[in-house]
């Protein structure tokens, strides 16, 4: 039962993440990227802190390996968000999508070395099948823009950050609850992104921060990013790592582009062809074969 719940939690995580691209695009029509991250993680921090204050949940960090937890929070969301943003800036969305799809491979290899997890050789074939599907989807996007060396480096660092996060989440599962891990992540993300936005926007920081809440078409996507994606998805992800091997958890990563594709078709009227369905079938087949019980 726990295994089924964990798989459902992982599936829920990356389904939620699949809609973040749409939500981010809508929100960025009303603010800039630094302000969006500041508001997003501020709301997340306030909501999770409120749950603690009213006694809905409790946390206990005393006598536990806090340095591991801080490393987890650094990898995700801080390092990953920064590296991915810079990577996309110096490459293009198609190339970035292909590189990000390498997370299952990188995380699985690290789990074998660090956590001594055993992974059947056949699983790698299906991971590559899923990566091939993501690559095909990325190619169909037809992005333009030069791919620079520094952009490739940033994207690879994003893959490393996401992979190490999954490793750390699984290795700290015995000491910290999913809420405790997620709360530290949100606290660290809020502190870093609010500070960065305050420095970048200067004296206009507070007016812009407040103005976002007066934009009716911005607040819904921001609440989705803050509550559903930052809190809900990360809670589900940290729960999933309690019971699933790293290779299984990260295999769900490649569901994101499938969800993003259909979100774009339904809400933005983007085109859809039979080749898109082939790519999606490759991705889903790969995910299913990696995560199915042997």
What does the pLDDT look like over 199-237, one tens digit per residue? 999 999 999 999 999 888 889 999 999 999 999 999 999
User: Which value, in Å, is the radius of gyration of the alpha carbons in the chain?
Assistant: 19
What mean pLDDT value characterizes the chain? 89
Each residue's pLDDT tens digit, 130-153: 888 888 877 776 665 667 888 889
pTM for this entry: 0.90
Whether 94 shows a pLDDT value over 80: the answer reads: no
Q: What percent of the chain has pLDDT over 70?
A: 96
Which of helix, strand or coil describes residue 73? helix
- Using alpha carbons, select from 293, 253, 247, 225 the residue that is nearest to residue 118: 247
* Tokens matching residue 260: 């993003």
Residue ranges of the domains in the chain?
Answer: 2-51+64-291
User: For residue 5, which phi and psi values (nearest 5 degrees)?
Assistant: -65, -40
d(CA 259, CA 255): 6
pLDDT digits (tens, 9 = 90+) for 151-168: 889 989 999 999 999 999
Tokens of 147: 């791919």
């Amino acid at each position: 039962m726990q295994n089924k719940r964990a798989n459902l939690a992982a599936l829920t995580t990356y389904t939620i993440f699949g809609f973040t691209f749409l939500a981010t695009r809508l929100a960025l029509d009303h603010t800039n990227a630094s302000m969006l991250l500041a508001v997003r993680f501020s709301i997340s921090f306030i909501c999770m802190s409120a749950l603690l204050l009213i006694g809905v949940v409790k946390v206990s960090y005393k006598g536990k390996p806090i340095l591991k937890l801080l490393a987890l929070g650094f990898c995700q969301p801080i390092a990953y968000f920064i590296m991915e943003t810079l990577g996309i800036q110096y490459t293009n969305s198609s190339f970035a999508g292909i590189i990000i799809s390498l997370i299952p491979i990188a995380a699985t290899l690290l789990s074998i070395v660090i956590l001594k997890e055993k992974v059947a050789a056949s699983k790698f074939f299906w991971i590559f099948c899923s990566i091939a599907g993501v690559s095909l989807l990325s190619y169909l996007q037809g992005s333009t823009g030069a791919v620079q060396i520094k952009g490739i480096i940033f994207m690879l660092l994003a893959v490393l950050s996401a992979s190490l996060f999954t490793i750390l989440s699984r290795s700290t599962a015995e000491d910290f609850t999913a809420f405790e891990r997620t709360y530290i992540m949100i606290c660290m993300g809020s502190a870093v992104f609010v500070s960065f936005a305050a420095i970048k926007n200067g004296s206009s920081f507070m007016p812009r921060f407040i103005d976002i809440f007066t934009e009716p078409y911005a607040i819904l996507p921001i609440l989705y990013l803050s509550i559903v994606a930052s809190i809900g998805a990360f809670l589900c992800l940290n729960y999933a790592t309690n019971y699933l091997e790293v290779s299984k958890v990260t295999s769900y990563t490649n569901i994101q582009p499938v969800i993003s594709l259909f979100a774009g078709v339904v809400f933005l009227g983007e085109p859809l062809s039979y080749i898109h369905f082939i790519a999606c079938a490759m991705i889903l087949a790969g995910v299913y074969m990696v995560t199915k019980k042997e």
